[in-house]
Structure 1
Amino acid sequence: MTVPLKQRLAARDLLVGTWVKTPSAIVAEVLAGTGLDLLCLDAEHAPFDRGDLDAAVLACRALAMPVLVRVPSAAPETILNALDLGATGVVVPHVVDGASAATIARAAHYGPGGRGYAGSSRAANYTRTKMPQHLAASRAATVVVAQIEDAEAVEAIEAIAAEPGLDCLFIGRADLAVSYGAASAADPVVIAAAERICAAGLGAGRAVGMFVPDLAEVPRWRGLGVSLFLLESDHTFLIRGAAALAAAVRAPA
């Protein structure tokens, strides 16, 4: 039996996924048929509309590929839409303190002041899953990832990590670099911040995720407790593959 993503995160299994930047169900379907552990549809930085998300989530579900949606903001309606479409969970950008962590966790889960209920959604199997079963299944499977990418979030990281409704802290090193006014994601101040986030996540029993620009970094961060790696993207695969093809054909015989 396939272990749900939420349980694999809690167990700190090594998980490897990629970003999907192209609003295409076909791209999602192609990548869903690979050996990756999950996909993340980037609705924050790529031009996904509701129809695009709907089709891409459906493609992933058809191949039993766990799929997260990086929502454009922490607005409850964006979280609700992604989860009603049947996404496994959400990645929420710019979570800066314990209060905002609690707010996004509440918006992703059913309960007082939380996610609004609709039995007609794909998540509820279009009314075929009855309310008690759907509530229980959602509670057991919905993944909430807080993206930590601001200097103020690092200062509040222990409070953020203590929020029980979160499954994972995802380190956004590029935005941390911008926030700190650093030259790059490899700047010592960014690395120190990432290390603090790792320590807070481990201390609170939260999984920690990261994008790294160089795969050679993976062992180091794995040693510091990072278990979720969302690496490269469909765009990267296209660019690299096209460049490799052209180089191979033009290489001297």
Structure 2
Amino acid sequence: MNPFADRLRAGDIIAATWVKTPSPIIVEVLSLTSLDCLVLDAEHAPFDRASLDLCILAARSYAKPVLVRPPTSGHEHILNALDCGADGVVLPHIRSAQEAAEAVKACHYGPGGRGYAGSSRAAGYTTKGMTKHREAAKHVVIIAQIEDVEAVEDIEAIARVDGIDALFIGRADLTVAYGAATPDDPIVVAAVEKIVAAGQAAGRVTGMFLARSCDVPLWRDRGASLFVLGSDHDFILQGAAALDKAIRG
């Protein structure tokens, strides 16, 4: 039902990038690449409901898997992303097993869960029918972002929550949360190691953002398989810098 979800859950290496510009053209261009998926960053970039809808449409037009990091893990933000047709969500600031369980409920149809609408893009604008759409909705990808001290302290319980497909490590926020100077501070590295170990023990995929792509092999060897590196902004800046260097010698 969702080949991307199957690959992610199986622990295949997933290469992805952030999309920070709320432009369907940027998404369309990146959909032409070999990246496994795109992640629309509606938490830290100026996506509104209309721009998110158009960007998801652009990705789907090229059959490029697309995830959304919503502004919050609230039900209304999850609902919007999934109704627009995202393959899944990266949910910020999941701090406890209880919050993780509530997030899972918000992603699925059922009592107290995702509100149903058969007229959304995800439902094929009424063409799927309730039974088919509800079955397809069972396969949405649910990723809990771990970026708070409380989350690290409760990580074993969070990792065991049924329905969580992956743990995503927000290393920059962990650096701030621990009051560390850099993401390479021993307390931050220890937290990352603890999260990866908890994911492995619970049979969950773990993923992360890394500032340095050269660190990917290290964390691959330790069991991580989902890597969201760089962004459209980075590609523009790096491309411009490379062009300037080429011209000036």
Aligned match of 1:226: 224
Aligned match of 1:246: 244
Deviation at 1:160, TM superposition (A): 0.4
Aligned match of 1:156: 154
Pick the aligned partner of 1:213 from 211, 214, 220: 211
TM-score, normalised with respect to structure 2: 0.99
2:82 aligned with 1:83, yes or no?
A: yes
Structure 2 spans left out of the alignment, 5+ residues: none
Deviation at 1:3, TM superposition (A): 6.2
Aligned match of 2:135: 136
Structure 1 spans left out of the alignment, 5+ residues: none
Deviation at 1:249, TM superposition (A): 0.7
Aligned equivalents of 1:124, 1:249: Cα separation in 2:
50
State the superposition RMSD in angstroms.
0.9
Aligned match of 2:6: 7
Give the aligned residue type for 2:238.
R
Deviation at 1:85, TM superposition (A): 0.2
Deviation at 1:164, TM superposition (A): 1.1
Aligned match of 1:65: 64
Which secondary structure does the structure 2 equivalent of 1:226 belong to? coil
Which secondary structure does the structure 2 equivalent of 1:118 belong to? coil
Give the aligned residue type for 1:121.
S
Aligned match of 2:182: 184
2:55 aligned with 1:56, yes or no?
A: yes
1:63-87 superposed Cα distances (whole Å, 9 cap, x missing partner): 0000000000011000000000000
Which secondary structure does the structure 2 equivalent of 1:127 belong to? coil
Q: Give % identity.
A: 59
Give the aligned residue type for 1:209.
G
Deviation at 1:165, TM superposition (A): 1.2
Give the aligned residue type for 2:188.
V
Count of residues paired in the alignment = 249
TM-score, normalised with respect to structure 1: 0.97
Which secondary structure does the structure 2 equivalent of 1:17 belong to? strand
